Amino acid sequence: MNTTNACRRHAGKALFLTWLLAVGTTPARAEQAGTAPAGMPAMVTGAQIYTHLCQGCHMAQGQGATGAGSYPALAGDPAVASAPFMAVILLHGRRNMPAFASKDHGWEYFHVLPSLTYAQIAAVINHVRTHFGNHYKDVITAAEVKALDH
């Protein structure tokens, strides 16, 4: 093995672990709308949040997927009618769906999960409820999402 390549790999691992430690120790709760927790880019629209966090499992058009796991479709799903139901799932997780409430995840996971503010959770819920064939016009607010976080 080439010593230069081994050094590069070691430096890459060290850089990754430094990043992982920084992101894994995010402060609990970033309350202000538009303020992202440490280590996470400030995503300002529900569409951006969906693209970066949700579509990997639920697919680009919300059609869901089956493979290594089962990821429900959000397109035309009757559960999407309830914004509070969606908020509780995003806040606290459900079955294989991880929780995205702002909190310090510590080392409880192999990988560090991003945290979302209440405003970001509301934005992605409102996006899903008005896209992918869903036509729900009522919106959920950051304050309503916060009230569900207990």
**What is the number of structural domains in the chain?**
1
φ, ψ for residue 30 (rounded to 5)? -110, 100
Higher-pLDDT residue of 18, 145: 145
| Region of poorest pLDDT, from 4-13, 104-113, 121-130, 135-144 | 4-13
Q: Tell me which residue range forms the domain holding 70.
A: 3-148
Distance separating alpha carbons of residues 74 and 129, to the nearest angstrom: 9
CB 50 within 8 A of CB 127: yes
The one-letter amino acid code at 13 reads K
Q: Tell me how far apart the alpha carbons of residues 133 and 141 are, in angstroms, rounded to a whole number.
A: 22
Q: What is the CATH number of the domain that holds 143?
A: 1.10.760.10
pLDDT, residue 107, reads: 46
Per-residue pLDDT of 117-132, as tens digits, reads 999 999 999 999 999 9
CB 77 within 8 A of CB 71: no
DSSP run (H or E) holding 66: strand 65-66
Question: pLDDT band at residue 38, thresholds of 50, 70 and 90?
Answer: low
How much is the mean pLDDT over the chain?
75
Residue linked to tokens 């538009």 = 34
pLDDT of residue 39: 53
Tell me if residue 116 falls in helix, strand or coil: strand
> Which residues sit opposite 94 in a β-bridge?
97
Instruction: Identify the pLDDT of residue 42.
Output: 58
